[in-house]
Amino acid sequence: MSRTDVTGTTATAFRVPTADGLALAARAYGDPAAPTVLCVHGYPDDSSVWDGVVARLAADHHVVVYDVRGAGASPAPRERSGYALDRLADDTARVARAAGGGRPVHLLAHDWGSLAAWHTVTDERHAPLFASYTSVSGPCLDHAAHWMRSRLRPSPRALADLADEALRSSYIGFFHLPWVPELAWLSGVGGAALRALERFGPSDGRPPRDRRLLRNHLNGLELYRVNMRDRLLRPRRRHTGVPVQVLAPTHELFMAESLVLSAGEWAEDFRFHRVAGGHWIPRTRPGVVAGRVRELVRGVEEGTVPEPGDRSAARPLGGQLAVVTGAGSGIGRATALELARRGARVVCADIDAATAEHTAELASREGPRATAHRVDVADGDAVAAFAKRVRAEHGVPDTVVNNAGIGVGGPFLETADDDWRRAIDVNLWGVINGCRAFAPMMVEEGVGGRLLNTASAAAYLPSRAYPAYASTKAAVLMLSRCLRGELAGHGIRVTAVCPGLVSTGIISATRFAGEGAGAGDGPDTGSSTRDRLNRLYRRRGFTPERAAREIADALQRGPELLPVTAEARAGLALSRVSPAALRAAARLSPLS
């Protein structure tokens, strides 16, 4: 039977028989000849959670939704064992066969639907039915168990991850109590608690007062009681060759991001994207979810996703887009290469086109194909045009590294106006221009993401030796802190990177006030100051590659400030504990 429903499109209702005699309620939208997207909802929802996504996909896709057993218009199994993951996976496979018309379908699932979908695509009997899988807010239980075991080691970060996830998952223990969770839902206390945690909860935050919604809440408790203990205590090793895309809400309450990312170990083709919002982004950010699904479906259908066995897409940043300025050398080049090694598509920007091209060539050997652009970050119009081109050709970036910068040394009284202007134009306005060009599109697209602005340990370590450089870097640090507060609600984390003594070659390119021209400009090329500082940096021996690994590792955490080297961390601690000591040290000069 066909009718127009709340999605604004025509729905064809049908039933799918299960192995244990149930008849699942399903609806189909759009042209059956188009690629099929099969949507599986979670707890305590029904298929209506996909209404916004359906409205955006049905014009050019065949979209099928269904109510899982015990939810919506689908009957509940007679036995508790009917909620086992094996049953749910078999249901998903049966609906896929009915919906696909003999072709593999693209799977999209949320919450418990994602748990069941993982179970389905990692089953070699069912995997051939699926062309791709997009998971939202739901891990494979077996993968989660392996991740938890990997965190049982004497490492502060590992134990912190485990404690974080234990807190996020504490509600599962509550759901295992006899009768208490049922009473919580019946009394309305459970719904109130959920709405207090999530601004946009299930069913648009409305309490489950009608019988259909209440039935979803009560029946779905058996999902936890039947499946959790066995899967977490006796996990299987479950791999899949189906291309997998994980959408991670930036304000996810119930899963740590490191747990979500660990799924990349089990998928031959894995990509990861953040989406600004909470747990119920299929309802609150349907346009973003639909856009990511459309992008993956197009890639699979056109054959542009990596072939199974090409592990580039299974890396932590698989499928993500990163923009790096100042990518022609030093930390910028090393960061571009490190992001490429981790699976990101990298856009390399530098004022020197030849060095940007070389970095892109090197990055393409490490990961997906990289591109290069000549950009003067001090030119706001040029950066804006660059950002528009990136969006048109590659999409909205997940990560932007505003790294381009120059060095200026020498006392304040000897630093010329032109030196000040150039330092401010590149070091400060370059970061401002990058943030102004990319942050609005990241907010508009709702992709969350990361902005990393390269400041310096000089931002908090005053010295008579480099007032112009330190002033611009201190401004970058404060700008980053202000932006972090402004963009937090959009799921964008802003980090100020403060490298310290990293042997990048910046000293050779630094202009020292009062000592003539910079390197390559004539008489100052062999200055004793430059030679002494270059020897200091070489003896320190901290390479750009080590700095790049620290920067890439921090992408998941998204800290406010990232001091890279030991001296940068020590200086930061001293700036907080004893500012007077730093003021005394500022009287000394490493240039003499």
Residues 6+ apart with CB under 8 A from 545: 334, 337, 338
> CA Rg, the chain, in Å?
27
Residue 156: what pLDDT?
Answer: 83
Per-residue model confidence (pLDDT) at position 581: 83
- Asked if 89 contacts 116 with a C-beta cutoff of 8 angstroms, the reply is yes
Q: Running DSSP on this structure, what letter comes out for residue 266?
A: T
Place of tokens 């049922």: 182
**Secondary structure element (H or E) that encloses residue 338, with its range:** helix 330-341
Q: What is the pLDDT of residue 107?
A: 98
CATH 3.40.50.720 fits 320-585, yes or no: yes
Query: Beta strands 321-325 and 270-275: pairing type?
Result: unpaired
CB 295 within 8 A of CB 287: no
* pLDDT at residue 318 in the model: 84
Tokens of 302: 């056109």
Q: Is 16 helix (H, G, I), strand (E, B) or coil?
A: strand
pLDDT of residue 519: 40
pLDDT number for residue 510:
56
What gap in Å lies between CA 28 and CA 515, rounded to an integer?
75
The H-assigned helical ranges of 169-220 are: 170-175, 180-187, 189-197, 211-219
> Which pTM was predicted?
0.84
Q: What is the widest separation between alpha-carbon atoms in the chain?
A: 89
Q: Among the CATH numbers 3.40.50.1820, 3.40.640.10, 3.40.50.2300, 3.50.20.10, which is that of 2-146+229-313?
A: 3.40.50.1820
Q: Which of 29, 133, 469, 537 is catalytic?
A: 469
Q: What is the DSSP letter of 527?
A: -
DSSP-assigned beta bridge partners for residue 62? 36
Identify whether 83 is a catalytic site residue. Answer: no
Give average pLDDT by consecutive 10-residue segment, the chain, 592 residues.
69 96 97 97 96 96 98 95 97 97 96 98 97 97 95 85 93 94 87 66 45 84 94 93 95 92 91 92 95 95 65 70 96 96 95 97 94 97 98 95 90 91 96 98 92 95 89 97 96 95 61 52 47 54 89 93 92 88 73 46
Are the folds of 2-146+229-313 and 320-585 the same? yes
Contact 127, 133 (CB under 8 A): no
Asked if 206 and 188 count as a contact pair (C-beta separation under 8 A), the reply is no
pLDDT in the model for residue 305: 66
Write down the domain spans for the chain.
Answer: 2-146+229-313, 320-585
